[in-house]
Amino acid sequence: MKKALFVIAALASCMTVSAKYWFGGSIGYDLESYYDTEAKYHFTNFCPSFGMVIEDNLELGLDMDIHDTKYNTGQKAFEFDFAPFLRYTFLRDGNFSMFVQGGFEYGIYSPSGYNYWHLSFLVQPGICYK
63 has pLDDT over 60: yes
Q: What is the pLDDT of residues 64-83, one digit of tens each?
A: 999 888 887 778 888 999 99
Cα atoms in the Cβ-side hemisphere of radius 13 Å centred on 43: 11
Q: Are 89 and 98 in contact (CB under 8 A)?
A: yes
Residue type at 112 in one-letter notation? S
11 has pLDDT over 70: no
Average pLDDT value over all residues in the chain: 83
Confidence band for 42, pLDDT divided at 50, 70 and 90: confident
Collapse the DSSP code of 18 into the 3-class scheme (helix H, G, I; strand E, B; otherwise coil) and give the result. coil
